[in-house]
Amino acid sequence: MNAVVNDLKPDIVLLSETWLNNESNEAFLQLDDYNLEKELRRDRRDTAGGIGGGLAVYTREGIRILPIDTSEDFNQAVKFRVQDSKDDLEILLIYRPPKPDQKNIVELTKLVSETGRNTIIIGDLNLPGVDWEHGECGNFERELVQTLEDGMFEQLVTFPTHLKGNILDVVLSNNPEKVGNVIEQGRVGRSDHVLIQVEVGDFLGRDEEKEMVRNWNRADWQKIRDGIEGTDWPREEDGITTEEAWGMLRRRLDDLLEENVPKTKFRKRVSEWMTRELLQDIRRKRRLWKKAKNGTREDKEEYEKVEKEVRNKIRSGKRRMERRLAEEEKKTSKHFYSYVRKKTKTRTGVGPLKAPGGNMVTEPEEMATMLNDFFASVFTRETAGVLPEPTRPVIRNRQRNRRITTEKVKKKIDELRPNSAAGPDGISPKILKNCRDQLAPVLAMIYRKSRGRGEVPDEWKQAHVVPI
C-alpha cells in the first residue's frame, strides 16, 4: 500500500475490508506523509477477530476533514466532510458483508436516506445482482436501489471490480458533475478487488503553491568563496556597531546566494526504499493487469510473475534500508530513531475543535488561536506587589583574557552537521562548512566586537519555538 500511495499520491485513501481488529497496532498501519484518522477506523464487530470487514481512512497532510456521526445500527460505515471554501463534500465509506439478512439492507437503506445533497458513497456493497447501468435488481435490493434513485445517486463505476467479473464496489454520487474520472488502477497485493481512483473536481487535489527552496547541489561554491574574499569587511577597531557588522555580513551572503544558488520547488522525500526502478515496475504491473484481466492465459501468467517480482522487491528494499539504518546507528542516530519513531507512534492531526458557542473550528489559524487562548487562561497571574526581589549573583571568575580566534571559529564550524536546519537568520550549515576559511575570520571579528562592546545583534536573540 505504501508503494501505491507513493506512486499515485492521492489526497484521501479509503480502505474497505481491512480485516483489522483490536490487536492491530495503529503505529504499524501508518502511511508515509498521511494521517490515519482514528475516529474513522471501524473494525468488524460481528465476526470472530474482525474477519472479513473493517474500514480505514487516511488523509494527506493539509487535507482537513470533519467526522460525522452515523447510525450504530449499520456498523460498517463511516461518514466525514471534506472542508472546502466553496462547498463541502460528504463522503460515506461502506462495507457490506456478502451474506447478511434483510435487516442489514434495511439499515443500509436508512443510512443512505440520511445523506446530504453533495455526497459520494464509496465502498464494497457486495450486490452482484444489481444492474447499475439499467437500474434492474431483485426484490432483496429493491428498496435500497429505489432509495438511491430517489436521492439522485448515480453509479460511476462501469468496469468489473472483482476477479469474478462482478461490479461489487460503488462510487455513487448525487452530484456527478463534480466528479471527474473514475479509474481502475489494478490490484493491491493479492486482493480480489481492484483499486479505484476517483478524481473529484474542485474539492480535492488543489495544487497549493509549493515553497521555493535552494538547490544546494547546483551551488557555485567557488564564486561564493571568491565573493566573500573580495568583500572589504570592517575591522574590529572600526567604529561601527556589532549590529551593523552583522547586517553587512547577512546582506552580502544573501546577495551571493541569490546569484549562485538556484531555487527549486520543495519536494517531500519519498521512502528510501522506493527507487525509480521499483516505481517503474509498479506501473508496469498496473499496465499488465489491464491487459491480463480480459487477456489470454499467457497474459495472466506474465502479470502474476511481475506481481510476485514487485512484491519481493518491495520487501527486499525495506530490509536493505532497515539493515543500513541499523549499521549507521553508531555513526549518526538521527535517521535510525526517526524511522523507529515513525513505526512505533501514531500520527494524528489536530482538530477539529469545538468553540465555546458550539461551532466546529477547522481552520488552522483559528484552531491555533483557540489553543493559545486556552493555555493563556490557565497560567497563574501574579501581581507586581508580590514578586520577590532578585538576588544579584556573585561573579567569581570573569572572562578577561580569552580571545576568540579564527582557528577556534573554524573548529566550531567543523563540528556542525551539514544537514541541520538553519535558524531564523536563514544561514544554513552548508554555507558555513563550504566557506569555512572565508567566513571564519569575519565571524571571529564580529564575535570579538560583540564581546568587547557588550552588544548582541537582534537576530541572535531570535529562535524557532515549536510547541509539542
Among 186-200, 248-262, 372-386, which stretch is predicted with the lowest mean pLDDT? 372-386
Q: Is 50 exceeded by the pLDDT of residue 85?
A: no
pLDDT tens-digit readout, 448-468? 999 888 889 999 998 877 766
Provide the pLDDT for residue 248: 94
pLDDT tens-digit readout, 23-56? 777 777 888 788 888 888 888 766 655 567 889 9
Its pTM stands at 0.66
Provide the pLDDT for residue 300: 84
Provide the pLDDT for residue 18: 87
Contact (CB, 8 A) for 44 and 53:
yes
Cα gap 206→18, rounded to integer Å: 28
How far out from the chain centre does Cα 52 lie? 29
Cα gap 160→356, rounded to integer Å: 49
Provide the pLDDT for residue 277: 84
Residue tagged 462501469 (cell numbers): 158
Provide the pLDDT for residue 136: 87
Provide the pLDDT for residue 352: 74
Q: Which residues contact 17 (CB under 8 A, 6 or more apart)?
A: 52, 53, 54, 95, 124, 193
Q: For 438-443, what is the mean pLDDT?
A: 94
Provide the pLDDT for residue 348: 62
pLDDT tens-digit readout, 220-233? 999 999 999 999 99
pLDDT tens-digit readout, 291-316? 887 788 888 888 889 888 888 888 88
Of the chain, the end-to-end C-alpha distance in Å amounts to: 29
Q: For 350-365, what is the mean pLDDT?
A: 78
Paired residues of 169 in beta bridges? 124
Complete DSSP assignment for 148-176: HHHTT-EE---S--BTTS---EEEEESSG
Q: Calculate the average pLDDT of the chain.
A: 83
Provide the pLDDT for residue 205: 46
Q: For 75-79, what is the mean pLDDT?
A: 87
Provide the pLDDT for residue 330: 62
Contact (CB, 8 A) for 444 and 410:
no
Provide the pLDDT for residue 221: 94
Confidence at 88, pLDDT banded by 50, 70, 90? confident
Q: Is 60 exceeded by the pLDDT of residue 353?
A: yes
Higher pLDDT, 117 or 87: 117
Cα gap 28→340, rounded to integer Å: 11
Provide the pLDDT for residue 33: 80
Q: Within 10 Å of residue 57's Cβ, how many Cβ atoms?
A: 23
Q: Is 80 exceeded by the pLDDT of residue 434?
A: yes
Higher pLDDT, 19 or 362: 19
pLDDT tens-digit readout, 109-127? 999 998 888 899 999 999 9
Cα gap 41→352, rounded to integer Å: 17
Confidence at 93, pLDDT banded by 50, 70, 90? very high
Provide the pLDDT for residue 78: 92
Cα gap 192→203, rounded to integer Å: 30
Q: For 50-70, what is the mean pLDDT?
A: 82
Q: Is 80 exceeded by the pLDDT of residue 59?
A: yes
